[in-house]
Structures are given as structure tokens and as C-alpha cells.
């Protein structure tokens, strides 16, 4: 149940811009995934956590429910969106 | 060793086709391209750029068949068209060879350069130039 003080923004699943042209099967991921980048180049990713539910969207093209996966290489955190629902047309199209 | 790049001086720029999956004709295209330009991954951490597919001698239809896209639309141009359009604004381009198996064997990343230096962000006018240069067509082989 939504707490009365929660804003609409807090209760909505966060949308993350993703490039569905990079949707692929990658080792170690449970499902097809899309690389999202690092917080160094995309600061808006910094507060995402492993397993967080999001909506991955390529505006005007495609969207899908996803969860965040994080991989660390050379001390840099790389964020991925793992698809957990059907890939659909984005309604803005 | 760094990620290899395509030697653009050794290929026929009027024949090679570069395809970006998805419709760049939508109003949000510039913002989306600028965000996705920065989507680095662990496999090619020294790269940055827009996702494209490219294979010598292949048409966009061939590329759509060999690679797997969910998009209903594709956007494409010849390398020569893109180089020429970007060059008018003082930009160059560089193509990193970044095959992404199993679904994207012809995958590359297209980075924008200024005086040979790769830009870490996609400038507004470079994005707009690319959008104007790309033709949008139906994807002949959309993956279900």
C-alpha cells in the first residue's frame, strides 16, 4: 500500500534510457541484457542498485520491464539492464 | 591492446552501409542517441559511441538478416554520406570493431571525433546531422 506521503514519482518504476540495438545474450546474466554505461558518463545511474526493478525504454521505439545488474571491472561499476518482461513498442512511437 | 578500429581510408565509403537499429525520426531521437552514445560496457571499456552494424559489401537488408534487432524500423546511411555530412560541421568519425556475439556479429561503435580526438559526449549538432543523414526504413527481419 502506498504511504500517503509518497509522491507519485517515488511509487512509479523508474524509467532508464537503453539502447535496444545492443540487446544480447551475455554470460552471467539471467536473460537478455543491455549495457547502460557507468556513473562516470551517466551520473543518473549512480543510485541504482543490483536487482532494482526499472523500465528500460528507447523512446519512440521499444520498452521492457527490467532489473539492474552491476559488474565491476578495474574498479569501475558498469550498469546493465536485464530484460524480465516482453519487449514492446514504446507508446510514444 | 586497445579495441581495433576500421581503416576508413581502405574501404569503399559509397558502398559500405552502416545501420543504427531503431527509428531516428522520432522527436526524442537526439536525446536518446546522446544518452546511448555513453553506454560503455566491460568488454570494450576503452570505447564509446553509437551502436551500428557494418560488414563490407553488405546491404542494410543483409545486415538486418545477420544481426538481430527487435526494432520495427532501421536507420541507415552509407559511410560516405555520414562522413561527408559530419565533415561539414568539422566532425570526423571513427568505427570501433566491437562484435557482440551471438546476436550482433557485425556490431561496431561509431564515435565522433574533432581533429582526430574522440568526443566523450555526442554534440547536439553532430547528432542532428546524423539524424538528417540517416534514412528510416522498415526492418525486413524484426526479431519477435
DSSP secondary structure string for all residues of A3-71: -TT--HHHHSPEEEE--GGG-B--TT-SS-EEEEEETTT-GGGTT--TT-EEEEEETTTEEEEEEEEEE
Residue B80: give the domain boundaries. Answer: 8-138
pTM: 0.91
Task: Report yes or no on B92 lying in a domain.
Answer: yes
Contact between residue B66 and residue B55 where contact means Cβ atoms under 8 Å apart: yes
> What SS3 class is residue B126?
helix
Name the minimum distance, in Å, from the CA of B90 to any CA of chain A.
24
Contact between residue A36 and residue A45 where contact means Cβ atoms under 8 Å apart: yes
Work out the percent of chain A whose per-residue pLDDT is above 90. Answer: 83
User: Closest Cα to residue A51, out of A80, A22, A20, A18?
Assistant: A80
Distance CA B66, CA A67 (A): 28
Q: Where are the domains of chain A?
A: 8-89
Superfamily of domain A8-89: Hypothetical PUA domain-like; domain 1 (2.40.240.20)
Q: How many domains does chain B have?
A: 1
B42 in contact with chain A, both atoms CB, cutoff 8 A: yes
* pLDDT tens track for B21-76: 888 989 899 999 999 999 999 999 999 999 999 998 899 999 999 999 999 999 99
Contacts of B73 in chain A (CB under 8 A): 61
Task: Report yes or no on B65 lying in a domain.
Answer: yes
Task: Report yes or no on B110 lying in a domain.
Answer: yes
Task: Report yes or no on B21 lying in a domain.
Answer: yes
* pLDDT tens track for B4-22: 999 988 888 876 777 888 8
* pLDDT tens track for A44-60: 999 999 999 999 999 99
Q: When comparing pLDDT for B99 and B19, which is higher?
A: B99
Residues A31-48 have a mean pLDDT of: 96
Work out the percent of chain A whose per-residue pLDDT is above 70. Answer: 86
Task: Report yes or no on B143 lying in a domain.
Answer: no
Amino acid at each position: 500500500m502506498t504511504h500517503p506521503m509518497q509522491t507519485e514519482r517515488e511509487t512509479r518504476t523508474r524509467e532508464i534510457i537503453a539502447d535496444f540495438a545492443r540487446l544480447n545474450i551475455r554470460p552471467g546474466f539471467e536473460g537478455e541484457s543491455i549495457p547502460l554505461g557507468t556513473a562516470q558518463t551517466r551520473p543518473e545511474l549512480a543510485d541504482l542498485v543490483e536487482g532494482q526493478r526499472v523500465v528500460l525504454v528507447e523512446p519512440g521505439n521499444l520498452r521492457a520491464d527490467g532489473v539492474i545488474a552491476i559488474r565491476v571491472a578495474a574498479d569501475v561499476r558498469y550498469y546493465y539492464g536485464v530484460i524480465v518482461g516482453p519487449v514492446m513498442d514504446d507508446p510514444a512511437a | 591492446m586497445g579495441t581495433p578500429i576500421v581503416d576508413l581510408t581502405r574501404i569503399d565509403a559509397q558502398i559500405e552501409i552502416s545501420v543504427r537499429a531503431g527509428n531516428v525520426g522520432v522527436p526524442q531521437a537526439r536525446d536518446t542517441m546522446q544518452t546511448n552514445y555513453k553506454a560503455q560496457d566491460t568488454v570494450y571499456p576503452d570505447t564509446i559511441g553509437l551502436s551500428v552494424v557494418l560488414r563490407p559489401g553488405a546491404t542494410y537488408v543483409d545486415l538486418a538478416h545477420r544481426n538481430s534487432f527487435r526494432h520495427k524500423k532501421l536507420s541507415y546511411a552509407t559511410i560516405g554520406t555520414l562522413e561527408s555530412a559530419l565533415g561539414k560541421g568539422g566532425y570526423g568519425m571513427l568505427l570501433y570493431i566491437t562484435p557482440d556475439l551471438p546476436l550482433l556479429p557485425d556490431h561496431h561503435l561509431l564515435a565522433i571525433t574533432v581533429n582526430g580526438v574522440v568526443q566523450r559526449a555526442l554534440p547536439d549538432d553532430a547528432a542532428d546531422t546524423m539524424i538528417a543523414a540517416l534514412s528510416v526504413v522498415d526492418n525486413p527481419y524484426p526479431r519477435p
